Amino acid sequence: MLSKDIIKELEAAVGAGNCSTDDAVLYTYGFDVSDVFGKPDVVVRPGTVEEIANCVKVCAKYKIPVIPRGAGSGATGGAVAPTGGVMVDMTRMNKIHDLDLANLQVTVQPGVVVDQLNQFLKPHKFFYPVIPGSDKMATIGGVVANDASGMRAFKYGTAKDYLLGATFVMADGSIVPFGCKALKNVAGLDLLRLFAGSEGTLGIMAEFRLKILPLPPSRGILIAYFDDLETAGKAVINTYQAGIVPSAIEVMDKSALEVVRKFKPQTGVKIAEAMLLFELEGDQDFVKSQTNRLCDVLDALGSRDREFSADPKEAEKLWSARSSVGAATSVFKEGYSRVYEGEDICVPLTEMPKTLQKLRELREKYRLGTVIFGHIGIGSVHPAITIRKSEEKDWKAMKDLAAEIHAWALSVGGTVTGEHGIGVARKEFMGMMYPQAYEVMKKVKHALDPDNIMNPGKIF
């Protein structure tokens, strides 16, 4: 509980109407998508970089935790407040400005939603390629803070690859602009790559200069069904080896297809052991020729029931089916709800067939409703575990299952998180994954935030 004087100082920083200590408000800010809960002592909603800085200065003065938050759609407890403190809700800062098409860039505030940005850019025939499955809700601030990526990550990379500049609010409340308008810049240490993925533990990123790209002239979607999941894994490797670079390759196993059939039957997906969705981009002739070559690859592996569409509306429908699977997994098994643990491993491509096999074995072993899907083109798999939340034994089984999934990913040279981040939920794995480098990270954290007020308890 913070004193009335501190609250008054925070109110002075952001305006009384943008500061709340109401119990109901605080309660709703205690959650994200994960099952980590932590209610802040106060929520502030700054409207400018200066207001953020003024809030952080108050927190620095009294050594109070500062928890930045976008849409609260993260999956690791990264934007909740297990130790209380001041939650800084960025959603008021949702302006897009300084669109500079000639220089391939746009400046945005952290509360801009990814889809909002892409809808804004679409008439100009440009796009921001970092499109997570949660693009309808995730904010740019959260996306960058977690170095998120999503479905087109193999071709387009992750959030850090589109950062040209940012304004940091440091742990003492100082404002530090960084970066420039040039598309290349190697002047000194790259603070953008340090802060991207730091989950608010080093400071707050308050404004972004983002690189944007021209929209490809056309896109085609090829869907292929497989009689076994492992062959689908092999198809990815064979695709690349044939010199074909799709902008996305997504996998849905039988369980995920059943979920889509329930949630969006109008997509017309079929039930099979696995389905791969390939997206190819370029001018129409290129898309056609690449698709033909891809079909040769898939023929050799015995895929069936292929469907191709270059119609944008049809493609959007198929993508919407895929992007909603994550949250829709709760419809897989009556009475079971999704929990976000063990849901974000990433493995080397060559390990993908074995990984998919392993996930199936684990699903049989634990007999929880586990739905398997992911960005297979870059080795990301999202095994979505569903449980009966009222059953204590399901919680225990889920924890054991998640631990086995994480251990498997590490054993094959992968990672416990490809894009969702560490937060609270996965920090126990940091030491296992990086016995030496984790200590270096702690030194960096201490150097920039000696009082450990910036999103404490996350990553570290």
The residues of the shown chain that bind another protein, judged by CB under 8 A, are 20, 22-25, 27-29, 31-33, 45, 71-73, 89, 91-92, 94, 111, 113, 115, 134, 136-137, 262-263, 324-328, 330-331, 335, 337-338, 340, 389-390
Q: Select 134 or 255, whichever has its Cβ closest to another protein.
A: 134
In the complex, minimum distance from the CB of residue 38 to another protein, in angstroms, rounded to a whole number: 13
In the complex, minimum distance from the CB of residue 32 to another protein, in angstroms, rounded to a whole number: 7
Cα(15)–Cα(29) distance, rounded to whole angstroms?
19
Q: Please identify which residue in the block is written with the tokens 């040039």.
A: 182
In the complex, minimum distance from the CB of residue 144 to another protein, in angstroms, rounded to a whole number: 18
Beta-bridge partner residues of 127: 213
For the stretch 415-427, what's the b/e string if a residue is b when 16 or more beta carbons lie within 10 angstroms of its beta carbon? Answer: bbbbbbbbbbbbb
Cα(337)–Cα(388) distance, rounded to whole angstroms?
6
Q: Select 119 or 174, whichever has its Cβ closest to another protein.
A: 119
Residues 454 and 195: beta-carbon distance below 8 Å: no
Q: Select 80 or 221, whichever has its Cβ closest to another protein.
A: 80
Q: Select 89 or 253, whichever has its Cβ closest to another protein.
A: 89
Q: Select 122 or 442, whichever has its Cβ closest to another protein.
A: 122
Q: What is the DSSP letter of 245?
A: -
In the complex, minimum distance from the CB of residue 330 to another protein, in angstroms, rounded to a whole number: 4
Sign for the CA dihedral angle at 13, 15, 18, 24 comes to positive
In the complex, minimum distance from the CB of residue 242 to another protein, in angstroms, rounded to a whole number: 34
Q: Select 326 or 456, whichever has its Cβ closest to another protein.
A: 326
In the complex, minimum distance from the CB of residue 14 to another protein, in angstroms, rounded to a whole number: 13
What is the maximum alpha-carbon separation in the chain? 71
Spatial CB neighbours of 5, under 8 Å, sequence gap ≥ 6: none
Count Cβ atoms below 10 Å from residue 37 Cβ, excluding itself: 14
Q: Select 297 or 328, whichever has its Cβ closest to another protein.
A: 328
In the complex, minimum distance from the CB of residue 250 to another protein, in angstroms, rounded to a whole number: 16
The DSSP string of 27-84 is: HHTT--SSS-----SEEE--SSHHHHHHHHHHHHHHT--EEEESSS--SSSTTS-TT-
Q: Please identify which residue in the block is written with the tokens 């902008």.
A: 247
